[in-house]
Amino acid sequence: MDCIFCKIIKGEIPSKKAYEDSYCYAFHDINPQAPTHILVVPKEHICCTDMINAENSVYVAKIFEAIPKIAAEAGLKNGYRVITNCGDDACQTVKHLHFHIMGGRKLPENMG
C-alpha cells in the first residue's frame, strides 16, 4: 500500500519522532501550522474516522491516552488543540487517520 504515514511508521521515510508506543507513533508535522504541530497516527492503517470500529477503536483510545503525555513532553502547558480531518470537505490530504496536536501560541477561535 502506498501510504506515506505507514512508511513513516516503518522508518522508510524519515520523521522527527515525538512519541511512540505499541499502538501509535507521533512526529512533528513537516509544514507546521503552529509553533508546536505534532501528528499522532495509529500503527494500524485506518484511513479516517469513518473507518473506526469496535475492532480497531483501541488504537484511538490509546492515542488519546498518549496525547496528554505528548503535549506535556512538548511543553504545551497553556493548552493545545487536537484536530482530525475526515474526507474532502475537511481537506484530509493523507488517508491514514491522524490527530493534529497544535499549540505554543493562542490559536484562532474560528475552526472552520
- Decide: 105 and 37 in contact? Cβ < 8 Å: no
51 to 90: interface string for Zn ion, x by CB under 5 A = ----------------------------------------
Name the phi and psi angles at 40, rounded to 5. Answer: -115, 130
Active site residue 37: no
Sequence-separated (6 or more) residues with CB below 8 Å from residue 104: 34, 35, 36, 74, 75, 76
Cell numbers for 88: 474532502
The piece of 11-19, 25-33, 79-87, 94-102 that touches Zn ion (CB under 5 A) is 94-102
- Name which position in 12, 54, 78, 91 contacts ligand 5GP (CB under 6 A): 91
37 binds Zn ion (CB under 5 A): no
DSSP H or E run through 7:
helix 4-10
By CB under 5 A, name the one of 96, 97, 99, 103 that touches Zn ion.
96
Verify binding: residue 54, ligand 5GP, rule CB under 6 A: no
Half-sphere exposure of 17 (CA within 13 A, CB side): 11
Q: How far is the CB of 91 from ligand 5GP (least distance, A)?
A: 5
- 30 DSSP 8-state letter: S
Q: Which residues bind ligand 5GP (CB under 6 A)?
A: 4, 13, 15, 27, 29-31, 39, 85, 91-94
